[in-house]
Structure 1
């Protein structure tokens, strides 16, 4: 098949196929913007050390996250993490209208296309949509860079608009994201058999998932807890630092993966309990759907749970810094002085909270796409139930039940694991003993060098240790926001139920 024909067939289809391409391009544009922002932060040059600037700070920026060289890596890493919910949104968008696309691919097979050609068609569709999105993201980045290049009254910039990443980095993002998207489509199509008579899976799941995801969570948290003391007990070039990094990164990823995959077991178990104890038709319909496809929850809630876990860790980190500031003030009062609040760390955590809120909004958008895709994919089944006398309200309640019931324990699990990881990362707040010189006289006597020494007393403050409080209020707000997002997306998705259950859908081929 020639490339022009392959491209024309890949982009052909109905309005649903066009919507899928546009939504995939939108997700790729968001991911590209986050990647370009991370590259922009890494491209900031570090000045040479001087007597006036021993820390090699980039003084042309107003925020310390950009000025200090040691903080740029973490800032770039946080921006890269922001692409996770965006890529999950892209995965949900790629599933939109999947039944119609399957029938179109089966028609290609009926016309003589080979299975490899059909797979390449799906790859080209996703790749072209992602390429369109990355190019749009590049254009938005360049335009925004010019619009936001506005120094303040001190001549400092709020964003690194005075530097540009290397051209090779731009090319890597513009080409790499569509390539990864196309290869991911091919990977997801491996268990799919496209025949002239339809699209089927190679194997069906005969029993529900086991609770093995709990073992992943326990192992991940344990590795994270063990890795951090090893890191603190060794120098940067010590022999166990590599092992500690593996335990920290691997433990965090294993715990998060366990949360996401554990939603499958939660969905299946919830379906079993509903089938056993529920009496309402909507709950029984939801139980059947949860048991027949328990992994739908893992796919739909993946980005949401990742954002909740990260947000809970940030809330635990904020509690640590609040406790640290409190101990510093107590230590200062003992020494006879007064220390004001240090807003740097708390303001930085506020930026992290903003990133978590953006991630939750993106994740909720992906969940909305998943709900709409589920309604559209099963519209013939829902139409048959409506034709048999089942009220649309009952179907709506069943869809709401199957979305909300697994979400509640999954969000609670994500909040718990995120808090434990954040608590284990820093531990208790400890302030060592310190020696202070306190002048016990009037301000005039203390200011005079000739009389200050005779009124000066050396005092030593004891070591202070405090356990950070559990940020229950912030965790409650985070969990309530996540569940409110689930309810809002389900409510919006149900607007498509009436149009998808028209009796004409029974004659759809």
Structure 2
């Protein structure tokens, strides 16, 4: 099959197919923009003062997270993690109008195409849409870089608009994202067989297993043992502890993601046993019949909740450290007869974690958008079943309650579990902060020039008392994150139910 023919068949279709391509391209453009921004931030250390060196502060920026080299990896990681819900949104957009696309591919098979060519057409649609979106994302970055390049009165910039990622990085991002999307689409279609008379899907019959949840415990153990490993083997290479921490976070995240299917199946069994009313029984049967369908996108939402909970716990720990150090510094200032002046580090860290909270909120919002597409696609793809239920006398409000229960019933325990795992990962850094407990030389009166004179009696040795504070559990922050996530899920399902009335029209019973 020639490339031009492949592209024409991939982009053909109705208005729904056009909408699917546009949404996929928009998601790919946003993901490309985030990757390019991360690459731009990674380029900053090569600039700086004339003294050079990787530790040179880039004082041409206003944001401290861009000025200090030690804070830039956190910005890069945040941008990279933000692409996860964006890519999940792209994957869900690729399923919009899938039944009509499957019928079109079956027609192509009837015209003489091989099964491999049919799969290639379906995967090429995602690849072409992602390629167009990647080019648009790069163009948006280049235009935005010129528009936002506005230095202030001191010549400082808000964003790294004075740097451009290397050409090889831009090429890798613009070409790599469509290739990745095409490969993932082909992988997801491995269980689908296109025939001239329709499609056949190999449904996963094996029920989810709970053993994957052990990964969460392994992840918490790896992160929690980091301090003990550092004390037991202080001569370890510098890369060991970061790798151990990354492996722990990855294990905890994978355990949560792979465990969502089991949570859905278990919730369905509980609803079937204790639920009352037709809506609860319908939701229970759907959760038990296919626990993986709703958990695929919901798992991405839980990753955002996990990182948000971890950031909240880490924020509480760092702010406790700042408070203990402030207590120690205040005591030293009073012992020298000086007025204590805060150094502003606590405000800086609070601002940095506020930015992290904003990133988590954006990730949750994007994941909710992906869920909206999934809910709408699920209703449209099952429109004949819904229409059959309405024809037999089932009220539409019962179907609406069943869809709402199907989304919220597994969401509540899953969000609680994500908050617990994220909080436990942050708690592994320590549950208290200490400062002081050492001898220190102070200058009574604070005039060091007088204290350093020969025979001065103002220079004295004192014992700085040890200050200890327990790290509080940020229950209010965690409750707000959990309630906001559940509200986003409920709002998403409520908006998706707008597709229920047209999907339950009795004329759908005559649809092919």
Band the TM-score falls in, shorter-chain normalisation:
over 0.9
| 1:356 aligned to which of 351, 360, 365 | 360
Distance of 1:445 and 1:232 partners within structure 2: 37
Q: What's 2:381 paired with?
A: 377
**SS of match in other structure, 2:112:** coil
Structural mapping, 1:467-482, within 5 Å: 467-482=470-485
Indicate conservation of the 8 Å contact 2:85/2:367, yes or no. Answer: yes
Distance of 1:468 and 1:328 partners within structure 2: 14
**SS of match in other structure, 1:238:** coil
How far the C-alpha of 1:446 sits from its partner, in A, is 9.5
Q: What's 1:178 paired with?
A: 178
Structural mapping, 1:417-436, within 5 Å: 417-425=421-429, 428-436=432-440
**TM-score between both structures, scaled by the size of structure 2:** 0.93
Q: What's 1:317 paired with?
A: 314
Q: Map Cα deviations across residues 101-127 of structure 1 (whole Å, 9 max, x no partner).
A: 222211211111101101110111000
Q: For structure 1, which segment, 6-15 or 475-484, has the greater mean C-alpha deviation from structure 2 after superposition?
A: 6-15
| 2:502 aligned to which of 495, 499, 502 | 499
Structural mapping, 1:47-62, within 5 Å: 55-62=55-62
Q: What's 1:296 paired with?
A: 293
Distance of 1:118 and 1:427 partners within structure 2: 56
Distance of 1:330 and 1:195 partners within structure 2: 73
Q: What's 2:283 paired with?
A: 286
Q: For structure 1, which segment, 250-259 or 477-486, has the greater mean C-alpha deviation from structure 2 after superposition?
A: 250-259
Distance of 1:209 and 1:307 partners within structure 2: 22
Go from structure 1 to structure 2 and tell me whether the alpha carbon gap of 1:508 and 1:467 turns closer, same or farther (over 3 Å shift).
Answer: same
Structural mapping, 1:307-346, within 5 Å: 307-335=304-332, 336=334, 337=338, 338-340=340-342, 341-342=344-345, 343-346=347-350
How far the C-alpha of 1:462 sits from its partner, in A, is 2.9
Q: For structure 1, which segment, 409-418 or 273-282, has the greater mean C-alpha deviation from structure 2 after superposition?
A: 273-282
Go from structure 1 to structure 2 and tell me whether the alpha carbon gap of 1:42 and 1:207 turns closer, same or farther (over 3 Å shift).
Answer: closer
| 1:397 aligned to which of 373, 377, 401 | 401
How far the C-alpha of 1:251 sits from its partner, in A, is 2.1
Q: Map Cα deviations across residues 450-470 of structure 1 (whole Å, 9 max, x no partner).
A: 799434543221333433110
Q: Map Cα deviations across residues 229-252 of structure 1 (whole Å, 9 max, x no partner).
A: 4356656x835x555444322221
Indicate conservation of the 8 Å contact 1:433/1:460, yes or no. Answer: yes
Distance of 1:404 and 1:217 partners within structure 2: 23
Q: For structure 1, which segment, 224-233 or 286-295, has the greater mean C-alpha deviation from structure 2 after superposition?
A: 224-233
Indicate conservation of the 8 Å contact 1:445/1:452, yes or no. Answer: no
1:264 aligns with 2:258: no
Q: What's 2:73 paired with?
A: 73
How far the C-alpha of 1:228 sits from its partner, in A, is 5.0
Go from structure 1 to structure 2 and tell me whether the alpha carbon gap of 1:448 and 1:432 turns closer, same or farther (over 3 Å shift).
Answer: closer
**TM-score between both structures, scaled by the size of structure 1:** 0.93
Q: Map Cα deviations across residues 5-56 of structure 1 (whole Å, 9 max, x no partner).
A: 1111111112221111111111111111110100100111435777799951
Indicate conservation of the 8 Å contact 2:45/2:56, yes or no. Answer: no
Q: What's 2:97 paired with?
A: 97
Q: What's 2:218 paired with?
A: 219
Go from structure 1 to structure 2 and tell me whether the alpha carbon gap of 1:51 and 1:260 turns closer, same or farther (over 3 Å shift).
Answer: closer
**SS of match in other structure, 1:454:** coil
Q: RMSD across aligned C-alpha pairs, in angstroms?
A: 2.4
Distance of 2:421 and 2:448 partners within structure 1: 56
1:206 aligns with 2:209: no
Q: For structure 1, which segment, 138-147 or 217-226, has the greater mean C-alpha deviation from structure 2 after superposition?
A: 217-226
Gaps in structure 2 of 5+ consecutive residues: none
How far the C-alpha of 1:333 sits from its partner, in A, is 2.4
How far the C-alpha of 1:58 sits from its partner, in A, is 1.5
Distance of 1:455 and 1:253 partners within structure 2: 55
Distance of 1:14 and 1:191 partners within structure 2: 25
Gaps in structure 1 of 5+ consecutive residues: none
Q: For structure 1, which segment, 20-29 or 453-462, has the greater mean C-alpha deviation from structure 2 after superposition?
A: 453-462
